[in-house]
């Protein structure tokens, strides 16, 4: 990749991080009426920087992530229409940078999931900046900083007693070097947990996400194509992904939602993905919301996404 392109992507990612607080504010109760304080602020978001109330209809759960021997959270909503004696549709929803697993399970998303009889689950992705398996190395968003040298210039640990940097949405000193791998694996672990607990319809299992989660939707949608009946990306921060990757999922229905007033994810970048869907003659919908910004497109796009998912299921196996 050319240096100029890397610089542009890096600046876009920095802008995305710096404005994440605004994104979450836009997705707070003022945008999505109805949420009340449940367990209080989202706990343990592993690098998240802003806390919002959890809707009381959402269960905050955790499981032991054996790779690191840590408890990792995920958010879960189960429609009252879900029963053990029938197959039930499932949506895996991926949060944006710095947000946390409960952010996509709010307001209209829960109303639509209830109406459609869905199980709706939001994985953490190991922490709030994991990128769901997408490599962001080279853009200042990965792993621990270089080990400081002492005054003699050796490679022995420094005796400096200054406070160590705390984890943040920009990357933390405690981020493992294989964060991408762990982030992707956490999503698939949570999917396995839900499949074991509930009677999930393998023909109606869907993937969606916003911003970082939108990019993750493209990545995991392609990598695990056999799982998903359809995928939907909202304002995807797919800076380092290639739209040509869609060639691998020509038969999968894809929806993209983008605001034309989004100052964080340029609409021109997302249109490249929509153009590729058209070029490949895929089953798709592209919803470009007039005046939509990076945060408002979540609630604005949800009705169309749920309607899109409702129209598509995998063919019955013979």
> How much is the average pLDDT of 64-78?
98
Yes or no: say if 132 and 213 are a contact pair by the CB < 8 Å rule.
yes
Range with the lowest mean pLDDT among 14-28, 50-64, 243-257, 268-282?
A: 14-28
- Residues with Cβ < 8 Å from 301, sequence gap 6 or more? 232, 234, 257, 287, 289
- The winner for highest mean pLDDT among 20-24, 52-56, 179-183 is 179-183
pLDDT in tens, 279-311: 999 999 999 999 999 999 999 999 999 999 999
Cα 109 to the center of its chain, rounded Å: 15
- pTM as predicted: 0.81
CA distance to 94, 161, 175, 188, 232, per residue, from 221 (Å):
12, 45, 25, 12, 9
Alpha helices in 51-99 (DSSP H): none
Q: Give the separation between CA 28 and CA 101, rounded to whole angstroms.
A: 14
Q: Give the separation between CA 147 and CA 155, rounded to whole angstroms.
A: 8
pLDDT tier at 227, thresholds 50, 70, 90: very high
- Closest by CA position to 283, among listed 302, 308, 303: 308
Q: Give the separation between CA 90 and CA 309, rounded to whole angstroms.
A: 10
| Longest pairwise C-alpha distance within the chain | 70
pLDDT in tens, 173-206: 678 999 999 999 999 999 999 999 999 999 999 9
């Amino acid at each position: 990749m050319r240096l100029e392109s890397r610089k542009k992507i890096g600046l876009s990612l920095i802008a995305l991080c710096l404005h994440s607080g605004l994104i979450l504010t836009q997705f707070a109760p003022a945008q999505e009426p109805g949420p009340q304080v449940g367990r209080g602020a989202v706990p343990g978001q592993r690098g998240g920087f802003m806390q919002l109330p959890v809707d009381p209809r959402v269960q905050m759960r955790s499981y032991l992530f054996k790779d690191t021997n840590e408890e990792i959270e995920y958010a879960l909503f189960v429609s009252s229409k879900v029963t053990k004696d029938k197959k039930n549709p499932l949506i895996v929803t991926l949060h944006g940078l710095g947000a946390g697993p409960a952010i996509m399970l709010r307001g209209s998303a829960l109303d639509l999931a209830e109406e459609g009889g869905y199980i709706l689950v939001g994985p953490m992705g190991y922490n709030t900046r994991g990128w769901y398996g997408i490599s962001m190395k080279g853009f200042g968003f990965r792993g621990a900083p270089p080990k400081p040298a002492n005054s003699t210039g050796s490679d022995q640990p420094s005796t400096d007693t200054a406070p160590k940097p705390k984890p943040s949405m920009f990357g933390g000193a405690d981020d493992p070097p294989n964060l991408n791998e762990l982030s992707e694996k956490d999503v698939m672990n949570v999917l396995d947990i839900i499949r074991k607990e509930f009677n999930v319809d393998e023909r109606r299992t869907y993937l969606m996400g916003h911003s970082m989660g939108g990019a993750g939707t493209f990545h995991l949608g392609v990598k695990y194509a056999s799982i998903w009946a359809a995928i939907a990306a909202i304002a995807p921060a797919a800076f380092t992904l290639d739209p040509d990757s869609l060639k691998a999922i020509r038969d999968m229905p894809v929806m993209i939602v983008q605001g034309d007033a989004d100052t964080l994810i340029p609409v021109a970048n997302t249109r490249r993905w929509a153009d590729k869907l058209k070029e490949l003659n895929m089953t798709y919908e592209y919803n470009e919301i007039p005046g939509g910004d990076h945060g408002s497109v979540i609630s604005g796009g949800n009705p169309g996404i749920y309607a899109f998912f409702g129209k598509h299921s995998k063919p019955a196996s013979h």
